[in-house]
Amino acid sequence: MPVRFEMGVWLGMVFSVARTPPMTHVERSRMTSKKEVAPLPEDLRVFLTVIRKAGFAAAADELGLSPAYVSKRIQILEATLATRLLHRTSRKVALTEDGERVQRWAIRILEDFQRLHDELSDAHAAPRGRLHLCTSFGFGRHHVAPAISKLAQAYPELEVRLDVFDRVVNIVDEGFDLEIRVGDDIPGQHIGRQLVSNRRVLCAAPEYLARRGTPQRLSDLEHHDCLVIKERDNAFGIWQVEREGVAESVRVCGPLSSNSGEIVLQWALDGRGVLQRSLWDVKPFLEQGRLVQVLPEYTESANVWAVYPTRLASSGKLRACVEFLQAHFQGLSL
């Protein structure tokens, strides 16, 4: 699993629970006997994950471990440092005063380990280590997953985890190293690198157009069956388009809608209505004649981006990953 150490998130977490009684003299004496042992980086990573996920079970799920093992690692870390790090209740955990100190140091230590790892990777000209990526369901399944398979073949020392979502992801808060995002709304606090140009187009099946007629003006869509997708943070029922650089919008509706682009695409292929969808998704069907582009002068920019936190700007393995994906996606010829 990837190392995660977003300082702003963890340092900003606030917990309010009942105060846990301080350690007894016997407990502290037992711990002090092990104080000379340095904490393991893996235990620090588990500790930070417990803080970020606000619980042992959630942290265990994130790390792919059992809650009992996570609890054991925290106990070992507390014994090693001879102090209690967490207040525990049946419902939540909270940092002790010493826990806050250890949190700050754990972030620094793991960041230094990461920089060491990146420097060694650069020195050996072969990226290695963990990367945690995320993207949307459809694009992830059809394009990112095959690209990651080729990335793993090219760089066998990389360990990559890919998560897919149908919602907006805060890559810092949720511990991701990289997001592959379709659309030009890049958060200002992150770095964005365009991987490939892409546009959303309007299209429908020939049988639908034969039955309902072909729209001639943008406003005609108000009288057509439009297949509406509710994805991520896109406004529902409002299609944003551009014509010769001028932005326009149209409110659309229809008897069918979904939060899945793949479902709505299938409805369009079945002749159920007009669809607005990325070229990466509909281009094969346009080439086969199963879909026809309508109002071709109206499109929407939806480029594909690699988005990552500024703290990873100098990461060698991230740079290698982004450059590989850029070369891969530019071969898609969208």
Q: What are the tokens at 5?
A: 């150490």
- What pLDDT is stored for residue 325 in this prediction? 93
Predicted confidence (pLDDT) at residue 334 exceeds the cutoff of 60? no
Predicted confidence (pLDDT) at residue 3 exceeds the cutoff of 90? no
CA-closest candidate to residue 163, choices 186, 187, 183, 179: 179
**pTM of the predicted model over 0.75:** no
Superfamily for domain range 128-191+311-330: Periplasmic binding protein-like II (3.40.190.10)
Opening angle at CA 203, ends 197 and 205, nearest 5: 140
The residue whose two tokens read 């979904």 is: 258
Residue 244 CB partners (closer than 8 Å, separation 6+): 297
- What pLDDT is stored for residue 120 in this prediction? 66
Phi, psi angle pair for 162, to nearest 5°: -115, 120
> Could you tell me where in the chain the CATH 3.40.190.290 domains are found?
199-301
- What pLDDT is stored for residue 189 in this prediction? 78
Q: Does domain 199-301 have CATH number 3.10.180.10?
A: no
Torsion of CA 39, 42, 43, 44, to 10 degrees: 80
CA-closest candidate to residue 303, choices 331, 287, 279: 279
Predicted confidence (pLDDT) at residue 286 exceeds the cutoff of 90? yes
**pLDDT (tens digit, 9 = 90+) per residue, 181-198?**
998 888 777 888 999 989
- What pLDDT is stored for residue 8 in this prediction? 37
Q: How far is CA 241 from CA 159, 244, 300, in A?
A: 39, 10, 5
CB neighbour burial string for 135-154, b if at least 16 within 10 angstroms, e if fewer:
bbebbbeebbeebbeebeee
Highest mean pLDDT range out of 20-29, 95-104, 282-291, 312-321? 282-291
Predicted confidence (pLDDT) at residue 271 exceeds the cutoff of 80? yes
Q: What average pLDDT does range 307-330 have in this prediction? A: 85
235 in Cβ contact with 241 (< 8 Å): no
Q: Indicate the average pLDDT of the chain.
A: 83
Predicted confidence (pLDDT) at residue 199 exceeds the cutoff of 70? yes
**pLDDT (tens digit, 9 = 90+) per residue, 73-128?**
999 999 999 999 998 876 778 889 998 999 888 888 887 777 777 666 665 567 88
Query: For the chain, what percent of residues have pLDDT higher than 90?
Result: 43
Opening angle at CA 58, ends 56 and 63, nearest 5: 90
**pLDDT (tens digit, 9 = 90+) per residue, 212-250?**
999 999 999 999 999 999 876 667 889 999 998 899 999
pLDDT-based confidence at residue 205 (cuts at 50, 70, 90): very high
Predicted confidence (pLDDT) at residue 162 exceeds the cutoff of 80? yes
Q: Does 314 or 323 have the greater pLDDT score?
A: 323
Predicted confidence (pLDDT) at residue 4 exceeds the cutoff of 90? no
What's the DSSP call for residue 129? E
- What pLDDT is stored for residue 20 in this prediction? 42
184 in Cβ contact with 25 (< 8 Å): no
Q: How far is CA 128 from CA 31, 122, 177, in A?
A: 36, 9, 14
> Could you tell me where in the chain the CATH 1.10.10.10 domains are found?
7-120
Count, in order, helices (H) and strands (E) of the chain: 12, 15
> Could you tell me where in the chain the CATH 3.40.190.10 domains are found?
128-191+311-330
Q: What are the tokens at 219?
A: 């406003």
The residue whose two tokens read 């939060």 is: 259
Predicted confidence (pLDDT) at residue 27 exceeds the cutoff of 60? no
- What pLDDT is stored for residue 283 in this prediction? 93
Predicted confidence (pLDDT) at residue 6 exceeds the cutoff of 60? no
Q: Is 129 left (phi over 0), alpha (psi -120 to 50) or beta?
A: left
What's the DSSP call for residue 299? B
7-120 — its CATH code? 1.10.10.10
3-state secondary structure 228-282: EECCCCCCCCEEEEEECCEEEEEECCCCCEECCHHHHHHHHHCCCCEEEEEHHHH
- What pLDDT is stored for residue 36 in this prediction? 53
Q: How many residues does the chain have?
A: 334
